[in-house]
């Protein structure tokens, strides 16, 4: 005997939407009754984001899915969340793997948006949690410091390269020196602003102080780490932190003939990885327990870079525990030195 599911009269048909977010353009595909509508395009501007939110709000209970790519998705995600729209913010790796399952042979903005709409339709709903305003502001400060630091490194590299050429005019050398000095002043000023901002909010000040208890993490690295970690969803395990940062090991083995070296996935927040790299190098040089862990790994056959990545991963484990238990760094728990 076949049973028939009776849908109550008046129940709205579920609607799903996928949005491919670009620096200049938003491409939207809406699915209803298992059918995708024609892709629509909106500019990634405050006015058009508002127009898009109004368009989606015409479908009560719509579930929207977009990728956490770069920095361009965040303003749209905030606008959708503030409007009460059901929102999924997806790790790009998950979207990539889901597209493979759908056997997508083409990659266009419209195809990507349709893939995200189908993800929202088929997969369990995992709501996006809106970050606190303080955390968003700190991330803006930390990423600006990061951008200026990269610019300073680039100019220093130019200065170093041109210093070997006797044909380089003194005016060019002077200009490069001036640029470096100006960038250093701007970085210093923003770092001071960030520290003042952090001390104004207990939710930031305490974890900032905990980060500074790790030998190898200075104020600049602590600002960079805190700016990213405070935006991670609450309730994640230390392993999920590692995966979100793209520091999880990626194994590649097939049969008996293919067995490639294990590498980190890099399918996550590169800013966390960048902020952990120098502290990992410093910690393995100056903290005996971290150094012991690194030496143990390299003695076991790991390459130096694999050892550094392992230190980064374990530091992130430790920071997760420090934040969860409100305790300073304990290097004896990081690695027990041989008696």
Cα angle 179, 181, 184; round to 5: 105
**Per-residue pLDDT at 9:** 54
Q: End-to-end CA distance of the chain: give it in Å, rounded.
A: 72
C-alpha 184/C-alpha 125 separation (Å) is 45
Query: Tell me: the pLDDT tens digits for 36-94?
Result: 999 999 999 999 999 999 999 999 999 999 998 766 788 899 999 999 999 999 887 78
**Per-residue pLDDT at 1:** 43
Place of tokens 């790009």: 92
Place of tokens 């939710």: 203
Q: Are the C-beta atoms of residues 275 and 230 closer than 8 Å to each other?
A: no
CATH, range 15-122: 3.30.420.10
**What are the tokens at 261?**
């070296």
Task: Give the three-class secondary structure for 286.
Answer: helix
| Spatial CA neighbour of 247 closest among 285, 221, 276 | 276
> What does pTM read for this prediction?
0.77
**Per-residue pLDDT at 2:** 43
Place of tokens 């790994």: 297
Q: What are phi and psi of 323, to 5 degrees?
A: -70, -40
Instruction: Please report, for residues 146, 218, 292, the alpha-carbon distance to residue 334 in angstroms, rounded to integers and kept in the order given.
Output: 28, 19, 10
**Per-residue pLDDT at 93:** 76
pLDDT in tens, the chain (339 residues): 444 445 455 567 899 999 999 888 999 999 999 999 999 999 999 999 999 999 999 999 999 999 987 667 888 999 999 999 999 998 877 888 899 899 887 789 999 999 999 999 999 999 998 889 999 999 999 999 999 999 999 999 999 999 998 899 999 999 999 999 999 999 999 999 999 999 999 999 999 999 999 999 999 999 999 999 998 877 778 988 898 888 988 644 444 444 456 677 776 788 999 999 999 999 999 999 999 999 999 999 999 999 999 999 999 999 999 999 999 999 999 999 987
230 secondary structure, DSSP code:
T
**Per-residue pLDDT at 45:** 93
**What are the tokens at 222?**
């602590």
| Spatial CA neighbour of 151 closest among 194, 193, 192, 187 | 187
**Per-residue pLDDT at 78:** 92
> In Å, how far from its chain's centre is CA 49?
22
**Per-residue pLDDT at 21:** 92
Place of tokens 């606190």: 132
């Amino acid at each position: 005997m076949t049973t028939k599911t009776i849908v109550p009269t008046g129940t709205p048909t579920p609607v799903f939407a996928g949005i491919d977010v670009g620096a200049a353009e938003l491409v939207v595909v809406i699915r209803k009754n298992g059918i995708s509508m024609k892709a629509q395009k909106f500019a990634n501007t405050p006015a058009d984001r508002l127009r898009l939110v109004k368009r989606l709000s015409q479908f009560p209970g719509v579930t929207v899915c977009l990728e956490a790519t770069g920095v361009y998705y965040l303003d749209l995600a905030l606008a959708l969340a503030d409007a009460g729209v059901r929102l999924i913010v997806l790790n790009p790796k998950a979207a990539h793997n889901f597209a493979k399952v759908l056997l997508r042979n083409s990659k266009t903005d419209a195809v990507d948006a349709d893939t995200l709409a189908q993800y929202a339709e088929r997969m369990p709903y995992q709501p996006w949690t809106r970050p606190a305003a303080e955390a968003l502001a700190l991330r803006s400060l930390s990423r600006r410091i990061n951008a200026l630091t990269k610019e300073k490194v680039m100019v220093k590299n130019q200065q170093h390269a041109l210093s070997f050429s006797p044909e380089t005019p003194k005016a060019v050398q002077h200009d490069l020196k001036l640029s470096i000095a100006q960038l250093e002043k701007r970085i210093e000023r923003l770092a001071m602003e960030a520290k003042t901002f952090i001390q104004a909010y207990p939710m930031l000040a305490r974890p900032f102080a905990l980060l500074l208890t790790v030998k190898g993490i200075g104020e600049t690295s602590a600002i960079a780490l805190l700016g990213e970690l405070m935006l991670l969803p609450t309730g994640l395990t230390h392993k999920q932190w590692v995966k979100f940062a793209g520091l999880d090991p990626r194994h590649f083995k097939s049969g008996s003939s293919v067995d490639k070296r294990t590498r980190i996935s890099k399918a996550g927040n590169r800013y966390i990885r960048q902020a952990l790299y120098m502290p990992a190098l410093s910690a393995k040089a100056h903290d005996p327990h971290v150094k012991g862990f690194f030496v143990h790994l390299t003695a076991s056959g790991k390459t130096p870079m694999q050892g550094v990545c392992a230190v980064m991963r374990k530091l992130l484990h430790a920071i997760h525990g420090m934040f969860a238990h409100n305790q300073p760094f304990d290097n004896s728990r990081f690695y027990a030195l041989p008696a």
